[in-house]
């Protein structure tokens, strides 16, 4: 083996990406430095139009993070004390944190053992259980497109309609993905995006957006992101927050959007190379039918925790990074366990023991991917 065979592989390579997109990035940043409209400058509106057009949504509202996007959407629905918000137990903490911040109660739902997405039949039984207990009002469902693949949207829409629940999409990991040939972004009444640097479309700091086809809701989101303002700046109509997207972040995202389609294609090619090289050795990601993933995360499953942890150590020795999303399902987290009603969530608990994410990003070369495959097999 040559010495280059042990050069570290990056889990995420923002420096290499920056080099690749440097001319357009500098042009965009210099435009902001020239006009100095750092809050709600023209790049914010331009980005909102580009994102809405990308997924065919009527409205897009740029906000300060994916978490604030969730909060603004829930505030607009008046979600609060006594409300049950149904969401998967196997997701990032932000999905559960926001209902609690607003005084509502997250009701954790188990996920599908193959796709890791929220399990519609368990969701149905959780809604019935909350109704039977009579303590909380079922209010909303948050579908999460975990790891970049779509949640089961047709089923979630049917359940939300039957039960009269508000349906929202946490698309923080999946902007750029497709379901039935259409970009994700219009599957629910409101869709939230995150531009955290490690997401498929990431900025250079925090940022987020909300997509909707409903102009009245969009107007409410715009008011809420700026302290609940009315038609003039010092008219305060409602309790809001400081939840705006920075102009500089919008400029970075506009620069990155120019190569986003190519990056998605590259992520897809990396995933295909992993699939081919790892099949039969570990469980590779099961694709959601009729969809295209944005490949925020490429997660394999091992036999048990011991095998997973041993593999992670072996990879580290070969300078191959890996990560565990998520080491604990949310109902087991210290912050949330007291809010959990005790329902069994065996799939989420099992996945947390056996899952491992391999590097997936557009800057990986075929040789890098081959090295990761050899290290996993080895």
Ligand X SMILES: *Cc1c(COP(=O)(O)O)cnc(C)c1O
- Residue where the block lists tokens 């947390």: 352
* Nearer of residues 59 and 145 to ligand X, judged by Cβ: 145
Q: Out of 95, 117, 191, 247, point to the residue binding ligand X (CB under 6 A).
A: 95
Binding window for ligand X (CB under 6 A); candidates: 2-10, 88-96, 269-277, 311-319:
88-96
Write out the DSSP string of 55-83.
Answer: HT-SEEEEES-HHHHHHHHHHHTT--TTE
Is residue 223 at the binding interface for ligand X, with CB under 6 A as the rule? no
**Residue 199 contacts residue 263 (beta carbons within 8 Å):** no
* Nearer of residues 208 and 375 to ligand X, judged by Cβ: 208
Among residue numbers 280 through 299, which ones bind ligand X (CB under 6 A)?
A: none
DSSP bridge pairs for 62: 209
**Residue 252 contacts residue 29 (beta carbons within 8 Å):** yes
Sort residue 348 into left (φ over 0), alpha (ψ -120 to 50) or beta: alpha
* Nearer of residues 230 and 327 to ligand X, judged by Cβ: 327
Helix (H, G, I), strand (E, B) or coil at 10: coil
- The residue sitting closest to ligand X, measured at its beta carbon, is 66
Binding window for ligand X (CB under 6 A); candidates: 26-34, 167-175, 262-270, 356-364:
167-175
Residue 332 annotated in active site:
no
* Nearer of residues 171 and 375 to ligand X, judged by Cβ: 171
* Nearer of residues 97 and 368 to ligand X, judged by Cβ: 97
Is residue 170 at the binding interface for ligand X, with CB under 6 A as the rule? yes
DSSP bridge pairs for 356: 300
**Residue 189 contacts residue 59 (beta carbons within 8 Å):** no
**Residue 358 contacts residue 271 (beta carbons within 8 Å):** no
Catalytic residue selected from 19, 139, 182, 199? 199
**CB 95, min distance to ligand X, A:** 5
Is residue 141 at the binding interface for ligand X, with CB under 6 A as the rule? no
* Nearer of residues 190 and 376 to ligand X, judged by Cβ: 190
Computed over its alpha carbons, how large is the radius of gyration of the chain?
Answer: 21
Binding window for ligand X (CB under 6 A); candidates: 61-69, 104-112, 152-160, 367-375:
61-69
- Residue where the block lists tokens 């809010």: 339
Neighbouring residues of 234: CB distance < 8 A, sequence distance ≥ 6: none
**CB 192, min distance to ligand X, A:** 7
Binding window for ligand X (CB under 6 A); candidates: 59-67, 116-124, 260-268, 310-318:
59-67
* Nearer of residues 71 and 278 to ligand X, judged by Cβ: 71
Q: Out of 17, 86, 89, 91, point to the residue binding ligand X (CB under 6 A).
A: 91
DSSP bridge pairs for 86: 107, 141
Return the structure tokens found at 98: 């926001």
**CB 304, min distance to ligand X, A:** 26
Is residue 173 at the binding interface for ligand X, with CB under 6 A as the rule? yes
Return the structure tokens found at 218: 């969009």
**CB 205, min distance to ligand X, A:** 10
Is residue 48 at the binding interface for ligand X, with CB under 6 A as the rule? no
- Locate all alpha helices (DSSP H) within 174-329, ordered by sequence: 215-225, 247-257, 260-278, 305-317
Adjacency order of strands within the sheet including 182-183:
182-183, 178-179, 291-292
**Residue 78 contacts residue 137 (beta carbons within 8 Å):** no
Site string for ligand X, 179-218 (x = CB under 6 A): ---------------x-x---------x-x----------
CA distance 152 to 137: 23
CA distance 210 to 41: 18
Burial string for 28-40 (b: 16+ CB within 10 Å, else e) reads bbeebeeeeeeeb
Site string for ligand X, 142-161 (x = CB under 6 A): --x-----------------
How many residues bind ligand X (CB under 6 A)? The answer is 15
Catalytic residues, by residue number, are 199
Would you tell me which residues interact with ligand X (CB under 6 A)? Answer: 65-67, 91-92, 94-95, 144, 170, 172-173, 194, 196, 206, 208
């Amino acid at each position: 083996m040559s010495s280059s065979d042990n050069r570290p592989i990056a889990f995420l390579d923002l420096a290499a990406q920056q080099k690749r997109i440097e001319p357009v990035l500098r042009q965009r940043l210099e435009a902001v430095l020239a006009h100095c409209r750092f809050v709600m400058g023209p790049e914010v509106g331009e980005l909102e139009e580009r994102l809405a057009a990308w997924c065919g949504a009527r409205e897009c509202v740029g906000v300060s993070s994916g978490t604030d996007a969730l909060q603004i959407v829930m505030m607009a629905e008046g979600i609060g004390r006594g409300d049950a918000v149904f969401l998967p137990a196997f997701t990032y903490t932000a999905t559960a944190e926001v209902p609690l911040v607003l005084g509502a109660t997250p009701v954790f739902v188990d996920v599908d053992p193959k796709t890791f997405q929220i399990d519609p039949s368990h969701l149905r039984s959780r809604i019935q259980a909350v109704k039977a207990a009579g303590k909380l009002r079922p209010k909303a469902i948050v579908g999460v497109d975990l790891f970049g693949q779509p949640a089961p949207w047709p089923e979630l829409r049917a359940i939300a309609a039957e039960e009269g629940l508000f349906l929202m999409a946490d698309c923080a990991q999946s902007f750029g993905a497709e379901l039935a040939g259409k970009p994700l972004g219009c599957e629910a009444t409101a869709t939230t995006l995150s531009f955290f640097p490690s997401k498929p479309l990431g900025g250079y700091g925090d940022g987020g957006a909300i997509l909707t086809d409903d102009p009245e809701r969009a107007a409410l989101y715009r008011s809420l992101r700026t302290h609940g303002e009315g038609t003039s700046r010092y008219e305060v109509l409602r309790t809001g927050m400081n939840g705006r997207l920075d102009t500089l972040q919008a400029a970075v995202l506009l620069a990155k959007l120019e190569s986003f389609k190519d990056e998605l294609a590259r992520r897809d090619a990396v995933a295909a190379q992993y699939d081919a090289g790892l099949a039969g050795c570990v469980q590779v990601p099961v694709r959601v039918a009729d969809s295209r993933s944005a490949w925020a995360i490429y997660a394999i499953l091992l036999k048990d925790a011991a095998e997973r942890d041993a593999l992670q150590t072996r990879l580290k020795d070969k300078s191959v990074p890996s990560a565990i999303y998520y080491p604990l399902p949310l109902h087991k987290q210290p912050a949330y366990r007291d809010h959990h009603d005790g329902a069994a969530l065996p799939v989420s608990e099992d996945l947390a023991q056996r899952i491992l994410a391999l590097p997936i990003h557009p800057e990986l070369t075929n040789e890098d991917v081959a090295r990761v495959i050899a290290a996993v097999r080895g």
